[in-house]
Amino acid sequence: MSSHQHQHQHQHHADSSSGGHPAATDIDWDALAPVLESGAEMHRPLSAQAAAWVAEELPAEDVRRVFDIGSGPGVLTCLLAETFPYAEVVAVDATPQLLDRVRARAVRSGLGDRVRVHAAEAPDGLEELGTADLIWAGNSVHHMGDQRRALAAFAARLRPGGLIAVLEGGLQARHLPRDIGIGRPGLESRIDGASSVWFEEMRAALPGYTATVEHWPALLAAAGLSDARSRSFLLDIPAPLTAAQREQLVSAFSWLRSVVEGRLDGDDLSVIDRLLDPDDEQGLMHRPDSFLLTARTVHTARSTGS
Ligand SMILES: C[S@@+](CC[C@H](N)C(=O)[O-])C[C@H]1O[C@@H](n2cnc3c(N)ncnc32)[C@H](O)[C@@H]1O
């Protein structure tokens, strides 16, 4: 479920009639919602470590408002509400259907009175929210054309002493051994290469795209924030995966297949098709060697403004 430095699941309008042409880079977030939600659930142990680290920087009793920008279906929103039990948490997303999922999840989790939603195409539309003690942006800044402008807009919404936590980058996820017994060894490395090309094209097509050196601590400093720190968190789910985890893996590889269409050779695409085939004994639903190993990095910085 990763494109380059983009370790989450996307679905998009892959045009199967396009033959060998590279896949488009627009993302249909609404169609992606179920896989985004199950993926975030699978990553919950990693997210919990990250949230606990952020909580070390901010005493829970001081945190009264949290914004989760690019919340997706709200797995992290609810985790943040649990981590900061005195806070109102506002999930901000550009896709209303995802915000419906946030609401439903919050109510199911008994957090309905503290979790609000706000539809906005960030970094626009944040002013009306007022300010927050913590702004979390998980794998969302890279969907904004001008990442510097986005961070500056977030920084402007922080209370003095408040913290920004940006989850961006880490290590490419691994799900299979280097040699899986079918096709040429090293399939996942080649998928990484192809998906990183897709990722750059996806970014370049965003409105207001501005090329940016993705040195997150420096970008946070440029937004007027101080005391930047970075830390990475590991997710290690060894083989054998459960049936539910395998289904998640199939969704992730389906997404990856759409991303690498036209960017990998036909032999590799055929191997991916075998992995996705529920009736193939070498497929992801049957093979005993699949796993999930990944790391994600969280970058924090503090507002010193008054
Ligand atoms: C990869 S998902 C991450 C979801 C969630 N933060 C997580 O870590 O599981 C990116 C999310 O950002 C949202 N998004 C993309 N561009 C956005 C924008 N300009 N403003 C607000 N949300 C945006 C998408 O709708 C999607 O829900």
Domain containing residue 259: CATH number: 3.40.50.150
Q: Tens digit of pLDDT for each residue in 206-252?
A: 999 999 999 999 999 999 999 999 999 999 999 999 999 999 999 99
CB contact at 8 A, 123 and 149: yes
Atom of ligand 1 nearest to the CA of 40: 9
Supply the pTM of this predicted model. 0.92
CB contact at 8 A, 175 and 290: yes
For residues 206 and 6, the model is more confident at: 206
Whether residue 10 is contained in a domain is answered as no
**176 in ligand 1 pocket by Cβ < 6 Å?**
no
Matching residue, tokens 């939600």: 37
Whether residue 8 is contained in a domain is answered as no
Whether residue 158 is contained in a domain is answered as yes
Per-residue confidence (pLDDT) for residue 14, from 0 to 100 = 34
Taking residue 266's Cβ as centre, other Cβ atoms within 10 Å add up to: 8
| CA angle in degrees (0–180, nearest 5) for 295-201-135 | 50
Name the E strands within 156-248: 158-174, 226-237
Using DSSP, state whether 284 is helix, strand or coil.
coil
Per-residue confidence (pLDDT) for residue 32, from 0 to 100 = 86
**254 in ligand 1 pocket by Cβ < 6 Å?**
no
For 17, counting Cβ atoms within 10 Å of its Cβ (0-12 exposed, 13-18 middle, 19+ buried), the class is exposed
Summarize the chain as % helix, strand, coil (round to 5). Answer: 40, 20, 35
Whether residue 112 is contained in a domain is answered as yes
Q: Tens digit of pLDDT for each residue in 174-197?
A: 999 999 999 999 999 999 999 999
Mean pLDDT of 19-42: 83
Whether residue 75 is contained in a domain is answered as yes
State the helix-helix crossing angle for 29-42 and 44-57, rounded to 10 degrees. 80
Q: How far apart are CA 273 and CA 278, in angstroms?
A: 10
- 73 CA distance to ligand 1 centroid (A)? 9
Residue by residue, what is the 3-state secondary structure of 184-200?
CCCHHHHHHHHHHHHHH
Whether residue 65 is contained in a domain is answered as yes
Q: How far apart are CA 294 and CA 65, in angstroms?
A: 30
> Which residue's alpha carbon is at the smallest distance from atom 27 of ligand 1?
72
Domains contained in the chain, number: 1
For residues 23 and 243, the model is more confident at: 243
**117 in ligand 1 pocket by Cβ < 6 Å?**
no
Q: How far apart are CA 4 and CA 172, in angstroms?
A: 7
**Tokens coding 163:** 């913290």
Using DSSP, state whether 303 is helix, strand or coil.
coil
Q: Residue 21: which pLDDT band, with cuts at 50, 70 and 90?
A: low
Whether residue 11 is contained in a domain is answered as no
Q: Tens digit of pLDDT for each residue in 110-143?
A: 999 999 999 999 999 999 999 999 999 999 999 9
Whether residue 9 is contained in a domain is answered as no
Ligand 1 pocket mutation pick from 12, 67, 93 by most atoms within 8 angstroms of CB = 93
Domain enclosing residue 294, as ranges: 16-302
Per-residue confidence (pLDDT) for residue 248, from 0 to 100 = 95
Q: Residue 306: which pLDDT band, with cuts at 50, 70 and 90?
A: low
Mean pLDDT of 169-176: 96
Q: Tens digit of pLDDT for each residue in 51-85?
A: 999 999 999 999 999 999 999 999 999 999 999 99
